[in-house]
Amino acid sequence: MNKSKIFVRTSLLAGVFCLSAHVVLAQSAAQIEAAKDILAKVPAAELASRSAELVANAPAKERAAVASATAQVVASINPDMASATVVAISLRIPVVAPAAAAGAAAKLPNSAGAIAVAVANVPGVRVGDVRPAVIAAVPAQAGQVVAALSRANLSSSLNQAATGTSMAAASVPGHSNKTGIF
């Protein structure tokens, strides 16, 4: 591969990271304060659903910024609810999943891999969008995020294989001796 191709690919990759980082930084202090005022009064059991509701009710152009701000606030208020909140937001509006994941990861860098995996498992969310957004939010955890997402892909494949096996076992009639010979 010649130097110009390497430069172009590196430049494109850097551009993706910069655009992803922009989503994390796009929320204003006012948005964060507004989310904090609303979510501070919410019981822990309702944080995820109330956060998803806030993002869904935001104007379409501001949803990514509101998702990021909301995820940051929840990560600050109740770190144990950060992944559940990001998943709830992603289930409701999959397009803002990278911003929500990046916002939570920015506040909880040691949990960045777990947050990325949780969001990447939501139907309709693209891993290719989540990975760069989370890495842009916490570049020091890039290895952890990539490794966690790689393991998640492998384990989900293994789980599908195991599910197929258990489905075969489940189809054995109840009156059989279940010796494993069909």
pLDDT at 19: 40
The whole-angstrom distance between residue 138's C-alpha and the CA centroid of its chain comes to: 13
Using the predicted structure, report yes or no on whether residue 52 has a pLDDT greater than 80: yes
Using the predicted structure, report yes or no on whether residue 113 has a pLDDT greater than 90: yes
Gyration radius from the chain CA atoms: 20
User: Quick one: 120 exposed, middle or buried, by C-beta within 10 A (0-12, 13-18, 19+)?
Assistant: buried
Q: What average pLDDT does the chain have?
A: 76
Question: For residue 2, what pLDDT band results from cuts at 50, 70 and 90?
Answer: low
pLDDT at 120: 92
pLDDT at 160: 38
179: alpha, beta or left? (left if phi > 0; alpha if psi -120 to 50): alpha
Look-up of token digits 């929840």: 74
User: Could you state, in order of their start, the residue ranges of all structural domains in the chain?
Assistant: 3-169
Question: For residue 34, what pLDDT band results from cuts at 50, 70 and 90?
Answer: confident
What is the Cα–Cα distance from 67 to 100, expressed in whole angstroms?
A: 5
Question: For residue 31, what pLDDT band results from cuts at 50, 70 and 90?
Answer: low
Question: 10 Å Cβ neighbour count for 182?
Answer: 7
What is the Cα–Cα distance from 8 to 59, expressed in whole angstroms?
A: 36
pLDDT at 81: 94
Q: What is the mean pLDDT of residues 65-82?
A: 93
| Residue 167 Cα distances to 45, 164, 172, 180, angstroms | 34, 5, 9, 13
DSSP class per residue in 82-130: HHHHHHHHHHH-GGGHHHHHHHHHHH-GGGHHHHHHHHHTSTT--HHHH
Q: pLDDT tens for residues 120-159? A: 999 999 989 999 999 999 999 999 999 999 888 633 333 3
Question: In degrees rounded to 5, what are phi and psi of residue 39?
Answer: -80, -20
